[in-house]
Chains A and B, each alone.
Chain A
Amino acid sequence: MKSNLATIIKKELSRFFMDRKLLLNTVLIPGLMIYIIYTLMGSVFTSLLTTDDNYVYKISAVGMPQSIEAVLKEADIPYKEISEDDVMAKKDKITDGTEDLCVVFPDNFDSAVESYDSQSGTAAPEIQIYYNSGETASYECYQTFTSLLDAYENSMINKFDINSSDKTFDLADGSDLMSRMMFALIPMLFLTLLFSGCCAIAPDFIAGEKERGTVATLLVTPMKRSSLAFGKIISMSIMALLSGLSSFLGVMLSLPKLANMGENGNSMFDFSGLGTLEYVLLLLLVLSVVLVLVSVLSLISAQAKTVKEAGTAMGPLNIIIMVVGIAGGYMAAADTGIATSFIPLYNFAKNMTCIFAGTPDVLAITVTVVSNLVYTAVCTWGLTRMFNSERLMFSN
């Protein structure tokens, strides 16, 4: 006699894989849509926030002094000398985006700067620079121009230098800070994506069967209720994992494009520090948290009378999952105790972040996985009892 557990899992997976629409909506489309949307957003932001490498800034200047002219020449930045009467017209052009910068120097700028005494208390010679922060080219031009002026000003009063030699003084990897921030977000991303995958399936999984009357057909067979409960949880976990994996791939593949990184090979996700042990620990964490998520959602689905009711009840959980995911991710470094590894979902976020940070705590992860399995067993027991409850199963 075949195991009833295997029979239930086979049937649920057959239903899932044979239903092209369901497969498309839960596995293919989420990942694909995330990838397309993030990639498009990345392209749009990149084109909005950067200018062409060959772009020549349109700069006008009134009273350009020789000193600054030399600086601009060295930086290969052209400009056009105009009279003071043309300033108003140039300002209009900057506003409508056809020109980038208009610089007005005071008369005899060089000699005024030379004779200026900062201790005198009088106002320093002022350079007026008109720009448009709403236009990428104008804003970039402004930043370039002011940085050149700052450098020139520093060179005039240079008393000491900081890190001016060619040595590398920042000893951190260039992507470390970003990586730390992103790695702390990954558990939350993982949890929300897995939860979304579960939510696409869970409402119909038991509530739908109750609503359609098909669960009663299963309940008159000699199969143990626990086989039905566990079979449902395992098969839904597999589906949720597939859905979550699809979304995760979509996020991971598109994030570098969204952040405009990776062009120089400087990826923010550097997994080179993860060895076999870390991957095994990660896998155990993901599997155990999926079981917890699915178990809880199964209880909600079994409690609900209709698919709609189940979906409504599951909605608010998303916020809790996000908060717990973020908390676990960002508090991981400070939280070194074992006790918090008993807190469902938080334990996943905390330990996942530790793995990515290169400081996995095997004991904490073992506690996490074991406690998650215990929570799943408790939920399965609860679900078995719910399958035995005529009030819940035949409430329609």
Chain B
Amino acid sequence: METILSVQNLQKTFKLSKKQQKLEKDHKTTKVAVAGLDFEAYKGEVFALLGPNGAGKTTTLRMISTLIKPDAGDCIVDGSSIVSAPESVRSKIGFLTSELKLEDFFTPNYLYDFFSDLHGVPESERMARKEKLFQTFGIDQFAEVKVSNLSTGMKQKVSIAISLVHNPDIIIFDEPTNGLDVITAKTVTDFLVSLKNEGKTVIVSTHIFSLVEKLADRVGIIINGKMVCCDSLANITAEKCLEDVFFDIYVEEVGTDEK
């Protein structure tokens, strides 16, 4: 298996605001979000990061996508370091998170072309790819409608299309189906399957077990910023279903009281 993404001892600690400090039981001034994470993703696989809220999934993906810098450690994405070559990393990945919003004033058509320009997609490739993505997500009918007038689901579809304008080999989606209706969620899930079939590497974070069971080749379970389990889905679910395995690990790591 060819390693396309390698996370090495990734660490991130956030300073807490006074308001956040009051919410912490021990009034700590900092919070360790990611504590020395190591894992690898192989070419053409779907790697799922599974964990409860606050486990460090989103922070990990934001560091891999170079939106934030790690305090220590590194991640090599298709040969480029997120620390020393962030621009190169950004050109190789497609990243989608609910925090990334589209400008309401523009149409999907305009935004697609704008982000294609920023990624340096040649005009010759752009049209065919746009047509394909817009058809897949049913955006073609709304291509000239301002984003402000689109439904939440359609906005998410446009966001996905725009994150893939440069046809990246590595796609990182953070909670891609969060807040979507079942129809839109299925469209997105099916699209992730099609990306896998195209040989793309997909890294997805979620806390939805069914999504992981449907998509993932390998699973990494993160709790309190640490990778507590990383194996193939087949191995992890050999004896128990994923949900049971997850809660067994959770109880072992955190204790029953916080379950």
Contacts and interface: CB of A to CB of B under 8 A. Distances in A.
Given A14-B110, A390-B67, A394-B67, A216 B117 contact: no
Interface stretch (A1-9, A45-53, A87-95, A164-172): A1-9
Interface in B69-121: 69, 87-88, 90-91, 95, 97, 99-106, 110, 114-115, 117-120
B66 interface: yes
B67 A222 contact: no
A220 B90 contact: yes
B68 interface: yes
A11 B99 CA distance: 21
Contacts of A217: 100-102, 162
A213 B100 contact: yes
Contacts of A15: 103, 105-106
Contact of B118 (A4, A14, A19, A213): A4
A1 B68 contact: no
Q: How large is the interface on B (under 10, 10 to 19, 20 to 34, 35 or more residues)?
A: 20 to 34
Nearest to B87: A222
Interface string A200-218: 0000000000001110111
B88, B101, B102 pick with most chain A CB within 10 angstroms: B101
Contacts of B95: 220
B65 interface: yes
Contacts of A390: 67-69
A19 B146 CA distance: 12
A222 B103 contact: no
A224 interface: yes
B105 to A, nearest CB: 6
B99 to A, nearest CB: 6
Counting chain A residues whose Cβ lies within 8 A of the other chain, the interface size class is: 20 to 34
Interface string A60-81: 0000000000000000000000
A2 B100 CA distance: 24
A221 interface: yes
Interface string A9-29: 001001100110000000000
A166 to B, nearest CB: 69
Given A4-B118, A222-B87, A222-B90, A394 B68 contact: yes
Contact of B120 (A1, A14, A212): A1
A333 interface: no
Contacts of B117: 2, 4, 7
A331 interface: no
A216 B68 contact: no
B103 A214 contact: yes
Nearest to B92: A222
A15 B100 CA distance: 19
Given A18-B105, A216-B99, A220-B100, A7 B118 contact: yes
Contact of B114 (A11, A216, A222): A11
A219 interface: yes
Nearest to B103: A214
Among B65, B117, B120, B162, find the residue whose CB has the most chain A CB atoms closer than 10 A: B117
Contact of B101 (A4, A11, A213, A394): A213
A177 interface: no
A338 interface: no
Contacts of A343: none
Contacts of A214: 101-103
Interface in B38-90: 65-69, 87-88, 90
Nearest to A220: B95
Nearest to A216: B100
Residue with the greatest number of chain B CB neighbours at <10 A, chosen from A216, A220, A222: A220
A223 interface: yes
B205 to A, nearest CB: 15
Most B-side CB within 10 Å, residue of A18, A19, A214: A214
B5 to A, nearest CB: 16
Contacts of A213: 99-101
A220 B68 contact: no
B115 A216 contact: no
Nearest to A208: B103
A221 B105 contact: no
Contacts of A220: 65-67, 90, 95, 100, 163
A219 B67 contact: yes
Contacts of A11: 114
A201 to B, nearest CB: 14
17 contacts: A2-B120, A4-B118, A14-B110, A15-B105, A19-B105, A212-B101, A213-B100, A214-B102, A220-B66, A221-B90, A222-B90, A222-B118, A222-B120, A224-B87, A390-B67, A390-B69, A394-B68
Interface of A: 1-2, 4, 7, 11, 14-15, 18-19, 212-214, 216-224, 390, 394
Given A216-B101, A220-B90, 7 more contacts: A4-B117, A4-B118, A15-B103, A212-B104, A216-B100, A220-B100, A222-B88
A-B CB proximity, top 5 nearest: A213-B101, A1-B120, A222-B91, A390-B68, A7-B117
